[in-house]
Amino acid sequence: MKLNTYLNFPGNCAEALRFYEQHLGARILSTMTFDQMPDPKTIPPGLEKGVLHARFQLGDGVVMASDGPAERVQPMRSAYLALTVDSNQEAERIYAALSAGGEVFMPLAETFFAHRFAQFRDRFGVNWMLIHEKPMH
């Protein structure tokens, strides 16, 4: 059994994928737009060039994504993508890139369990937990 995350975007999936590629080293594995689907096409208005389905590798995980009608796609509320990094410098770099233009719930800081920890929503509506863990005994 495998568990994968599936992200929905309100028409800016391709932009989000390029952003994650640039700032997180994500590798786009496949992308299909609505206008590439076989007939009969059922394309939501305004999403002709939108992403019907994409897969990208992030670290050792695979994430899937697509666009949906803006009136139906809502930002994530109670789920987070938890990203573990190996250094404070990497945490600070990623936090600066991903939190810019988003909403910070818990700023990047040291905690009792982490050298660096933050919770935020990026500008694409994706919730992130970013952690550089301390050894726990």
pLDDT in tens, the chain (137 residues): 888 999 999 999 999 999 999 999 999 999 999 999 998 888 888 898 999 999 999 999 999 999 999 899 988 888 999 999 999 999 999 999 999 999 999 999 999 999 999 999 999 999 999 999 999 87
Q: In the prediction, which pLDDT does 116 show?
A: 98
> What integer pLDDT is reported at residue 107 of this predicted model?
98
Domains of the chain in start order, with CATH, are 5-67 (3.30.720.100), 81-133 (3.30.720.110)
What is the per-residue pLDDT for 42? Answer: 87
| Cα 39 from chain centroid (whole Å) | 30
Transcribe 1-52 into DSSP letters.
----EEEEESS-HHHHHHHHHHHH--EEEEEEEGGGSPSSP-PPTT-TTSEE
Structure tokens at 115: 């050298």
Report the pLDDT value the prediction gives residue 17, as an integer from 0 to 100.
Answer: 98
Q: Round to whole Å and give the CA distance between 127 and 114.
A: 19
**pLDDT for 41:** 84
Please report the pLDDT score of residue 79 as a whole number.
93
Q: pTM, whole model, 2 decimals?
A: 0.91
In whole angstroms, what is the distance from residue 17 CA to residue 14 CA? 5
